Chain A
């Protein structure tokens, strides 16, 4: 595992930031999801060695990270705060930070330009950061995180302030980095953005990890919450009569040209539904979706 936390806790005076967290982040892209104040930034700061654990341990690439600056060469951190050396140009700033990795001036500048090009800022590289728009500031922050070619990218709310086009491009970049073998831990409280990047998530709430792993697997494991299935069909009443006889069906609701079923046994239900659709015995079934087989539903179920 790239990142491993063992009974990790962090408190600020009387306030608990992280509460007895044990987790492992595998290679690839992992989404860190939680509402504001959940502990996402605290966890990221612990991973990048900005904060010291109050209790427990955290290792990155198998080594403790606090006061271990040698490990930072393999990490690229894009923090949440909108803070820069405003008087420097984009390329000057990124090159100066890359230079702190031990790279000589010329190489640092070349690496900075490449990173800025990746985030579509090559044209504005020589402008002062103070003149950048919010989206450009976010992109230059990303550039400084990846300019030195790190193996692990920690991105704290990287899409904040970006316009839709930039968001799409950044999401695509993140996916590319994952495919290229980098490990990326990206946090957000915007669920569909995380979903579009990865299905591997860490759900955090009030300093505790609620769940980790594949979002669909997590959903399946939430036994006490029934699945909701939306069926648009011609013969909704006939379908309803057939489903009433099924074990596991907990409720039926009629909507416009559709039937919403809640079932505690989704596998069996889908098997039966597939058979009905194939036989056509109860009319044509036009559409079958599961409104709660997504991150939002998973999160809401876990938080309640």
Chain B
């Protein structure tokens, strides 16, 4: 049997781990959950579209003004994707990148290979990004084609905003995934911490003026969304009016990029130095 002569470095090793992990992620129960998650908005969109076709007079109105499909699409993008699906996917997959392998006790096989441990984390992170993007982006496009035509003359006008939305989702998935990969690498109960951050801390600090909102991912991510933010309560509307102007697109992209790179680096450091004691 020939001996191995080459020793892989970080990126090539990460790509090999990516190859191994992508199939695992795509065909797992998690993907079933993801499909259900993404099916909800599509079902809702289909119902709204059906209702609009069946009775055009019943088209939604706000303050007497009929709202078109593009506005509707923007609302769903905000309320479902930006505020829920993207953070939840980040928590769900990000915290489990290494933890799943540890729970399944298969991490030994990966850590016994001549590759840096950081390559394992990085490869799995890329696989998460690919898997979620492959599922989320088409669902958004489908949503667009279901909802955008309602009450509109054409849907072409919304295509640039749709492209921006798709890019925003990918950036959001990348940032949340990296952040929660770090949480998963450092903390014992990463899901609880992740949920506290995504559904406690972020909505909380974003409501109030001040600098604390800069310690969130949502603050920068929301600045990238080309649609106006809908409000779901009178209090919410008032709080929105009190908010200062959001950061620019360039500043937001830079901040999200920095968050992604920094938290991935921290996660890689944690994985390199941490011991994983497996349950018998």
Contact B4 A144 (CB under 8 A): no
Contact A72 B277 (CB under 8 A): no
Q: From known contacts A50-B276, A85-B24, A96-B19, infer whether A69 and B108 are also in contact, taking CB-CB under 8 Å.
A: no
Bound Cα distance A239, B4 (Å): 63
Binds B, one of A97-105, A203-211, A280-288: A97-105
Instruction: Label chain B's interface by main secondary structure.
Output: loop
| A160 smallest CB distance to B (angstroms) | 13
Contact A84 B106 (CB under 8 A): yes
- Name the one of A12, A83, A97 contacting B105, with C-beta atoms under 8 angstroms: A83
Q: Hey, what's the 0/1 contact readout for B57-81 against A, CB within 8 Å counting as 1?
A: 0000000000000000000000000
Contact B114 A101 (CB under 8 A): yes
Contact of A70 with B by CB under 8 A: yes
- Name which of A51, A71, A97 has the most chain B CB atoms within 10 A of its CB: A97
Interface size on A, residues (CB 8 A): 35
Chain B, range 15-65, C-beta contacts under 8 Å to A: 16-17, 19-20, 23-24, 27
Bound Cα distance A70, B113 (Å): 9
Interface size classification for chain B: 35 or more
Binds B, one of A73-81, A243-251, A296-304: A73-81
Using Cβ atoms and an 8 Å threshold, which residues of chain A touch B6? 102-103
Contact of A87 with B by CB under 8 A: yes
Contact B16 A99 (CB under 8 A): yes
Contact B17 A87 (CB under 8 A): no
Chain B, range 208-253, C-beta contacts under 8 Å to A: none
Contact A79 B108 (CB under 8 A): yes
| A297 smallest CB distance to B (angstroms) | 29
Contact B106 A114 (CB under 8 A): no
Contact B7 A102 (CB under 8 A): yes
A-B contact pairs, 5 of them (CB 8 A): A52-B275, A69-B115, A70-B7, A100-B16, A102-B8
